[in-house]
């Protein structure tokens, strides 16, 4: 070992920062010396990012073109959805950006966007019926619904309530509908005024009025004080019970007292005073003090002094009621945790806590926190993958489909509508994944059906947009019109 006034001096030019180089002795064996020594044959070797293999998974990270280092942050660039999907999540009627799209890592629509699946609500009016098929994407009637025409419902009108409207509109197009309100001249709730003086302020318009009617009871919702916005809302408001009916300040507004208010954060307490008006933190609350708080984990935090000194030299009680305000953290040294199964905690460089294993210094990346591709609602079940389930014997770790998910093969899925769908061909390099018609099949349209003439019929007018491949689905009698 070097003793006394020993000095080791290294002089050279290396294109790397000091923390990214190693000092290597190339003699037969490193000597131990006790006097001033000149060391020669020294090699400064930079750690090149080209040798780093930790940019994983590939859909989240890509290797930097050059540079030095030995960590994910130094040698890898993030793959961001906003840079990979230049057109965003399109079409917007079928896909919408994930909440964290601008910061989310990924390179495909399935990883960066949320699928918008057709629901029956879209086709809830009497003018449409849901298209046949599973996994259909869309939020519009054009994408999700087939049209219904009044001409197909000749007996829908009740002459006592109104006459039948013409089946063909003035522009020559067929009238859409299948119900009395669509096809007949009747009184509609959508035309009824619920705020008329006769209602005495006790009624309000429905969000989506529908149906036949011309009375408050049939066409309107009851108006409750709880839905009213009073002036100076923080000190006056509707009855908390919401049972009183009304739609004006004179009918509904009552004083609000701080004694009935609950502060929004655990760091606050309610100010005393039965007559104090208010319903916000600023009106009714004050900070708790650190002397009343215990750090959440003694092994990770130390409590700060409960008294602190101000800039003026005064000693005051330390305000706060959280680890961040009342405690100082203890840190583990920076440990290389880059992996798809482990993630690094962020520690300051001068932390003295001992640790040198994944278990001591890193956080597990649990598959239970990972949403497989196409698992849009996070319940563990997607159309292409199902998340692996933990057991007493096995707890799955990872952050990729390959580690955390069981694939669903299109080859094991069969449509319930074989006349409307045809199986997609094999794709090169890997099996096709999916468990819905839209993923595993291509639609079959009536426009491509050639059997109507042999059956003595003609192709229906809507053949371009209608799915089918049988006489029943695609043909109509010669000369028949909608």
Range of weakest confidence among 3-12, 121-130, 457-466: 3-12
For the stretch 378-406, pLDDT in tens is 899 999 999 999 888 889 999 899 999 99
Pairwise CA distance, residues 75 & 55, whole Å: 8
Tens digit of each residue's pLDDT (9 = 90 or more) over 212-267: 888 888 899 988 888 877 777 777 776 655 567 888 777 788 888 898 899 988 77
> Does 91 sit behind a cis peptide bond, omega within 30 degrees of 0 on the bond before it?
yes
**Does the pLDDT at position 203 exceed 80?**
yes
User: Is 145 in contact with 133 (CB distance < 8 Å)?
Assistant: no
Question: For residue 258, how far is the Cα from the chain centroid?
Answer: 37
Q: CA–CA separation, 67 vs 69, rounded Å?
A: 7
Helix (H) or strand (E) holding 142: helix 141-144
Average pLDDT, the chain: 84
Dist. CA 220–CA 202, nearest whole Å: 10
The pLDDT tens digits for 266-322 are 778 888 788 888 889 998 988 888 887 888 877 667 788 988 888 888 888 888 888
- Helix (H) or strand (E) run with residue 302 in it: strand 301-303
Query: Mean per-residue pLDDT for 134-138?
Result: 93
* Percentage above 70 pLDDT, the chain: 87
pLDDT tens by residue, 86-130? 999 999 999 999 999 999 999 999 999 999 999 989 998 889 999
pLDDT confidence of residue 480: 63
What is the predicted pLDDT for the residue at 478?
86
Residues whose CB falls within 8 Å of the CB of residue 272, separated by 6 or more in sequence, listed in order: none
Q: How confident is the model at residue 406, as a pLDDT?
A: 94
pLDDT band for position 79 (50/70/90)? very high
């Amino acid at each position: 070992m070097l003793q006394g006034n020993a000095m080791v001096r290294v002089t050279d030019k290396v294109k790397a920062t000091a923390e990214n180089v190693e000092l290597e002795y190339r003699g037969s064996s490193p000597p131990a010396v006790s006097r001033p020594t000149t060391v020669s044959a020294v090699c400064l070797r930079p750690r090149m990012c080209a040798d780093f293999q930790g940019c994983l998974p590939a859909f989240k990270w890509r290797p930097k073109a050059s540079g030095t280092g030995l960590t994910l942050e130094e040698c890898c660039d993030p793959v961001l959805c906003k840079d990979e999907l230049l057109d965003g999540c399109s079409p917007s009627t079928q896909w919408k950006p994930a909440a964290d799209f601008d910061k989310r890592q990924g390179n495909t629509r399935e990883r960066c966007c949320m699928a918008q699946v057709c629901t029956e609500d879209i086709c809830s009016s009497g003018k449409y019926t849901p298209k046949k098929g599973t996994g259909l994407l869309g939020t519009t009637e054009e994408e999700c619904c087939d049209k219904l025409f009044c001409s197909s419902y000749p007996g829908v009108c009740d002459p006592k309530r109104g006459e039948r409207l013409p089946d063909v509109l003035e522009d020559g197009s067929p009238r859409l509908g299948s119900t009395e309100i669509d096809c007949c001249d009747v009184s509609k709730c959508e035309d009824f005024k619920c705020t008329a003086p006769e209602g005495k302020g006790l009624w309000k318009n429905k969000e989506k009025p529908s149906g036949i009617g011309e009375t408050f009871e049939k066409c309107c919702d009851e108006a409750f004080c709880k839905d009213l916005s009073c002036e100076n809302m923080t000190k006056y408001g509707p009855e908390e019970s919401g049972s009183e009916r009304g739609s004006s300040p004179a009918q509904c507004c009552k004083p609000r007292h701080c004694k009935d208010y609950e502060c929004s954060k655990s760091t606050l307490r309610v100010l005393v005073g039965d007559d104090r008006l208010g319903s916000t933190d600023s009106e009714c609350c004050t900070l708790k003090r650190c002397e009343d708080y215990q750090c959440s984990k003694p092994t990770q935090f130390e409590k700060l002094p409960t008294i602190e000194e101000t800039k003026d030299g005064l000693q005051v009680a330390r305000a706060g009621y959280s680890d961040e305000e009342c405690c100082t953290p203890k840190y583990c040294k920076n440990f290389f945790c880059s992996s798809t199964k482990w993630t690094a905690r962020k520690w300051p460089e001068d932390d003295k806590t001992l640790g040198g294993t994944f278990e001591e210094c890193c956080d597990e990346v649990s598959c239970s926190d990972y949403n497989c591709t196409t698992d849009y609602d996070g319940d563990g079940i997607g159309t292409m993958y199902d998340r692996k389930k933990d057991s007493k014997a096995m707890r799955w770790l990872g952050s990729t489909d390959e580690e955390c998910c069981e694939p669903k093969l299109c080859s094991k899925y069969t449509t319930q509508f074989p006349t409307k769908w045809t199986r997609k061909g094999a794709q090169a390099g890997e099996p096709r994944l999916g468990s819905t018609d839209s993923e595993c099949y291509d639609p079959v349209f009536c426009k491509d059906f050639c059997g109507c003439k042999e059956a003595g019929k003609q192709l229906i007018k809507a053949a371009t947009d209608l799915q089918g491949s049988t006489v029943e689905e695609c043909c109509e009698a010669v000369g028949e019109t909608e």
